[in-house]
Amino acid sequence: MDLRQHLKESIETAVKTSDLVEEAPPVKVEVPKDRSNGDFSTNIAMVLTKQAKKNPREIAEIITDHLDQAEARVKSVEIAGPGFINFRMEASTLTDVIPQVLEQKERFGSTIREDSKKVLIEYVSANPTGDLHIGHARNASVGDTLANVMSFAGYDVKREYYINDAGNQIRNLALSIEARYLEALGQRLNMPEGGYHGKDIKVIGEKLAQESPEIADKPHEARIVLFRSLGVDYEMEKLRKDLSDFNVHFDSWFSETSLYEDGEIEAALGKMTEGGYTYEADEALWLKTTAFGDDKDRVLRKSDGDYTYLMPDIAYHYDKAARGFDKLINMFGADHHGYIQRLKGALGALGEKPDLLEIQIMQMVRLIENGQEVKMSKRTGKAITLRDIIDMIGVDASRYFLAMRSADTHFDFDLELAKSESSDNPVYYAQYAHARICSILRQAEEKGWEIDESARLDVIVNAQALELLKKLSVFQNVVKGTADSRATHRIPNYIQELAGLFHKFYNADKVLTDDEAKTKAYLLLVEAVRQTLENALRLIGVTAPNRM
């Protein structure tokens, strides 16, 4: 258990034994921004004012009177301002975190849950009709970080990519390949309306014309079936490669076409009809999503007999729900905001709880270079792709920058900053802290120092060192809070704060000195910081270099 969690539980016990209220609310314990306010602080006295019907300072006094300071390992308590309770901890409580890190290593910060909830996170899911763009890159970075963090926090997480390999877009892809194929055989180019003019399509068409000219003799629809399959396979191979190079991997790739082949479209439709949630009007079939809070009902099947794009999406979520997950999380682009309520309503019509589905919306990303928005690739003259970003600044900087802001806010991605090797660049700043610690440890080894886990830790009294220890002690709490709130930007924020505290410590005191006890203790401290930095960077898919 981390130090803050231990203090939180001690305060909750004090509240319960003081008879202030019948049922105590959750206690929030924070590290004060101003160090003069102690090591930890809580506003629980002000939270209880209405329930307890007392002045918050009076409530604070009652709580502190019932707090077992020895059990909580609190050195001193102070009631400040309108009723904040500030705590100064015994120094030994802060150093306790060091052996925890050294023992748990790459698992430090993780949580083992007895009731591990099964979670399916679907992210990226771009149509296989072209390259992944910068918006997909943000979705990939945030989605993968969320999966990493929730898994680390004890959830049973599965990652899934939904392949949109059916519908009009894919038919247009096949028609576009056919047009390029026939052009390569000497016929006049006849690109379909809304067709794809990218280089990929031309390459596929020319390759097929060279290797399989006999396809031209097949009936038109037979050619389209073949071109559709080949086109999707080609594009998906590229998408998989780009995502793999971006350090993003999936447990499963779910094909939209399989919903038709396995009869899940009809099964889902039958389930909703059986529940009385469908009706016919204007020669179309409608779903009563207004019964679940949507602003209007939605068409499932058009008057021409074709399904709308909503119907296979409903069937897909019918399949998801049937797999027994406790939570379904979708990472959608900003243009899908209006889609939230209709999908939740569809789950309700399927007999599931609408809250089973949770949709996270990704806001837009703008690439900025020299103060100007960059929309086109210098290499291709077309929209910036994930591959462009990887080539320009690398995977680490891309992953870090795209994860460091709340996903529901617009983000200006400063390319020049991401490329710079300075303390202003957050990923460089964080990785440099790790590399600097590795350098210290190499120097220590060269001078004959060894990591001695039995070394005394009570010699750690430097103010900057104690701040580092406090930051280490809350890592597990940060991970858990990030997982539960889905606020992935908290991990990069934590990394920046930990790196900043280490750099301050490094500039204020030496690790390798003539004082044997102090040197041994400091070596344990910096190794604990190094391990925690590595663990946190791994959660956002970023490497922890040993040298820079």
- Model confidence at 87: pLDDT above 70: yes
Half-sphere exposure of 112 (CA within 13 A, CB side): 4
At the topology level, CATH places domain 3-89 in Gyrase A; domain 2 (3.30.1360)
Say if strands 118-122 and 327-333 run parallel, antiparallel, or are unpaired.
parallel
Q: Look at residue 24 in the predicted model and tell me its pLDDT.
A: 74
Please determine, for residue 467, whether its predicted confidence score (pLDDT) is greater than 80: yes
What residue spans define the domains of the chain? 3-89, 168-230, 423-539
284-287/278-281 β-pairing: antiparallel
User: How sure is the predictor about 90, in pLDDT bands with cuts at 50, 70 and 90?
Assistant: confident
What confidence tens digit (pLDDT) does each residue in 110-168 have? 998 888 899 999 999 999 988 999 999 999 999 999 999 999 999 999 999 999 999 88
Query: Residue 456: its pLDDT value, please?
Result: 94
Q: Say if residue 29's pLDDT is above 90.
A: no
**Rounded Cα distance, 165 and 346, in Å:** 22
Question: Which of 3.20.20.70, 1.10.10.10, 3.10.20.740, 1.10.730.10 would CATH assign to domain 423-539?
Answer: 1.10.730.10
Q: Please report the pLDDT score of residue 26 as a whole number.
A: 83
Residue 380: per-residue pLDDT: 63
Residue 446's contacts (CB-CB under 8 Å, 6 or more residues apart) are: none
Under 8 Å between Cβ of 57 and 82: yes
Measured CA to CA, the distance from residue 281 to residue 236 in angstroms comes to: 39
**Range in 313-317, 471-475, 495-499, 523-527 the model is least confident about:** 471-475
Neighbour tally for 76: CB within 10 Å: 12
One-letter amino acid for residue 308 of the chain: T
pLDDT of res. 290: 94
